[in-house]
Amino acid sequence: MTSPLALSRLLEGRTNAEREGALARYLESRGVPFARHPFADFEARGESFSVDVGSGERVLVLIAHHDAVPGSPGANDNAAAVGILLQLLERVAQAPPSRVRVRFLFTGAEELGYLGARAYVGDTALGDVAGVLSLELCGIGDSLVVWDAEDRTPFLDRVGGAFQGLGLARDAGYHVVGRIPLFGSDHRAFAAAGVPAYGLTVVPATEAEALREFIFSPIRGAFRSLLRRPRPFDTYHTARDSGATLEPGALERTVRALEAVIAELASG
């Protein structure tokens, strides 16, 4: 089975059109049935791709955007997340869950105000969606973070229960934080439609306090970031966001965490 790190290299360092094409060719070459979701407006045009695995009335949506900002290799943002979902897709397809459908959604133009995700939400019935996790910056660190978690929901409780089942303690192995003021991701398109939807990121535990200040105190964090941005934001949206900075353990940790979430939802 190909590692998430190796799969992330399908996209790293390519233009957004090349990234989109490489992902479609990968799915086609492996005979994976997938749906295309084209979008277009004055900013951009492109396609998102979705793959459903499993059966049941409820749907768990897992998202990784395949685009990157111009000038960045886009390894941690967000080729790593695509690699994670591609390996997870292969694992889940070997033993599809019978009580939940897992929808792997690879979106385009996230960097342009979640354009691909917003188009998908506008064109798709969401009544069967139990919850959404959007993967961002999942290739560096050892601590999971669920963010934009302003309100407690049954889905959020199930995610926390899945992580605890892996032996991860809250506020140690994983963290749950409220709405992030300056950063966002595709889950917000679903949240705006009333669906329980959160971001999922991996960060170094040693950077927890610096990250909290950087993210939740924008003015003070911006001043300090002139000297040093905390990881993983030291490479975020820069030419330094290369595959050499990715940590295989972070990617594997995310795969295991998502497997646990799927198992938790499939348990009833």
Rounded to whole angstroms, the Cα distance separating 162 from 49 reads 27
Sign (positive or negative) of CA dihedral 89, 92, 96, 98 = negative
Residue-wise pLDDT for 74-101, tens only, equals 999 999 999 999 999 999 999 999 999 9
Burial environment of residue 71 by CB neighbours within 10 A (0 to 12, 13 to 18, 19 or more): exposed
Residue 168, token pair as written in the block: 């991860």
pTM (2 d.p.): 0.96
How high is the mean pLDDT of the chain? 94
> Measured between alpha carbons, how far is 143 from 151 in angstroms, rounded to an integer?
21
Residue 35 CA to its chain's centroid (Å):
19
The span from the CA of 218 to the CA of 116, in Å, is 27
Q: Considering its fold, how many domains does the chain have in total?
A: 1
Q: Mean per-residue pLDDT for 182-203?
A: 96
Six-digit token string for 3: 């590692």
Do the Cβ atoms of 147 and 185 come closer than 8 Å?
Answer: no
Query: Is the separation of the CB atoms in 236 and 229 below 8 Å?
Result: yes
Q: Position 111: which residue type? A: E
Mean pLDDT of 122-129: 97
Q: CB of 92 within 8 A of CB of 66?
A: no
Here the CATH number for the domain that contains residue 87 is 3.40.630.10
Structural domain for 146, as ranges: 4-266
Beta bridge partners of 198: 133
